[in-house]
Structure 1
Amino acid sequence: MLDEPALPPVCQPMAPRTARTRFLLIIADPEEEVARPLADALRQSQIDVVVVTDPAEALLEVGALAPDAVLTAAHVPPMTGSVIARALYSKACIPTLVGIGPHDGDEAGPALAAGARACVPRPYRLADILPQLRVIAPHTVSDFQTVVEVGALRLDPAAFEVHLRGERIALPLREFQLLHLLMQNAGRVLTRHQIHQLIWSQEEDTSNTLNVHVRRIRARLGDDLRHPRILISVRGLGYRLDPP
């Protein structure tokens, strides 16, 4: 394994990047099942994502695509996230986020010292990643705040407002985030696993939290609690939002 140099890196930019209207993110993570839910959610936010599990492949993709940013796990064997961050920053000025998991506490300091833009929790949550990407390239992320309309339901993430048939519906933060996620995937089933990773950064529901939030959202939307027609339970899988 490579040793991280002690001195802070100096940014050496590559040739000018091709102008884009959409943000391009490369995710380097040895566990594809951890990266995929985030990649799917980011694509719903009009962000282009490439997922790789090998650090050498990640560096090749960076050279070929010149992405706007890279998200790497703290460990992508045989390299560490701090080594990757230093290489990308010093050789190409690529902003790098490093995912820190429950057992990676000692990696945050070296990663930041190596030039990482920030450290984010791993498993990844959309709510943690989007603000970081918005800061990195505000000229290509206007879609992050796009109003979402599904039938008579309208959600404005910038104003933190939800309207149903013109009537404003007040929701606390977690319910707002959950409804936003479901509306972005309207007509598609989101598994409980995906929802927990993206909203609560958990593998599974051990406290019935998701069920409670779903019931509360249904009540606020005036959905039938016994036979819902907006927020649908799909037995054994998860939930689907249908246009009201």
Structure 2
Amino acid sequence: MARIPVVDDDTTVREVVVSYLRAAGHDVVEVGDGESALVEAAAGAIDLVVLDLMLPGIDGLEVCRQLTERDDVPVIMLSAPGSETDRVVGLQRGADDYVTKPFSPRELVLRVDGLLRRAVERATPAVELVDGDPVVHTGRHEATLAGEVLALTSREFDLLRFLLANPDVAFSREELLQRVWGWSFGDQSTVTVHVRRLREKVEKDPTRPTRLVTVWGVGYRWEAAS
């Protein structure tokens, strides 16, 4: 059982999401605004947050930023149909997933369970993946570059860990969605966003990547250290 605040000022949406997550066996708390969400998070341990983008007072983006900076808690953001910019900003603030309204509650439950499962998998066993630089320490859920700890979101860490474990293999965006984050559905542009952000943190020149390279017509590949 995971403790999950569902933060949305739309009572109908909140009630539907809560009912499905409770049916899946989770301990769910209803929250109607951003300030209350931060209070709830500070009051006790939480395992994941379902968070609406548009909230009264403190908006969802700011709530997401504070939550992930403080506890690195997984966050699934909800929003009305909008531009790619909204999705990108949400991911940049630390969100692990992004669902556009209207959505299938069953799909949302699957995404929640997938994020929770990966959080458990990251905890054990402890393994160190070394391929020159960077180095991934799975037990500590930490990656270093030139001895310095990289500031990675949980999804960026999962992507880097997977790529280092599978060097010199080209993966399509669809394959990365499935094998890194366990999704059989989803917006493939999510992969593009996280590849770009990861390059900014591990490449000397992100505009001319030498480790996380694009394989035209396929997807991406991690170049093993020579």
TM-score, structure 2 length as denominator?
A: 0.49
